[in-house]
Structure 1
């Protein structure tokens, strides 16, 4: 598997390149900023980008989207249907707060809980993990969970932004994350990776 991470932007958003090592087909997850860093990683991994996937629609997770789209020729941006309003509404996507400019974007391909994204011979399972935003998703590939801002090492995502809900996030933790295997790696939208088992032991929000 191709699996690379680079932290970009002032918020150090984790952008991921994930792909099939045999076919070189890959996805870019959360191209938040600094497109040159992301494009360099795409080049170094010799990846053929087939989709851009957003774990959620806050601007710090897609600020470099147009640049990546232009340079790679990718025509599909994948996210959950419930993020459509967040993506299109600057007050919800936080672009004025993050960049100082009001920016909106439209998605191309909508996914739901349980959908499969095919990347070469690799299957990526979509889990709906709302709470930080209404349409936040996590991606499950083998023993890895790319979870955006839903779950962090030692914490969880904020729920005080427009569309966030601590009650919904609590349900996501109980119904999704707690049921994942302890050995599953957790790769969040910011900060270091961890495992489900470690978070069950050390993260108060996983109790």
Structure 2
């Protein structure tokens, strides 16, 4: 089967039916399975090896964020695009940090949804305009703090010349998560690029060329 193979995850059967109907109406988009919670989503991905998971966040049992983390670890080639009604900062950040390549709201017009699904399947980042505005606003207003141990691990590998893909492979995380960690490091160090981040971290003693300080 050519085209994008998709697993739809939502705890509401009516929503799953509606999304399946829309996606299957496109010649290059194919829903191969559905799931009602995070655990079932992981099982369906293992069974069907899709290109993309369209993931709701808040569901009974295992939620979407937990499933995204598991998929990023165990099935790094599978992209996850969040489709939810929730646009709170905490939900957005948790999903992106867990490894989602995109975040859409359920009021997204169908043509935009189709474009987003295709882009996410190619590994491109896809964010609803309202979500982008909230993320940027949060990053601009948050008080800078020290980079976390994980962020410094990422930066240490960057300092050795590794690409985002190589960093992701080394730490068993997604490329989207690597990008998120770097964005956070840039904000905390007050810089705009990788080279400046490495330089400032070295100057502050947060990083050595071998490894981040414990």
Give TM-score, length-normalised by structure 1. 0.32
Q: Which has the larger radius of gyration?
A: 2
Q: Which has the higher strand share?
A: 1
Q: Which has the higher helix share?
A: 2
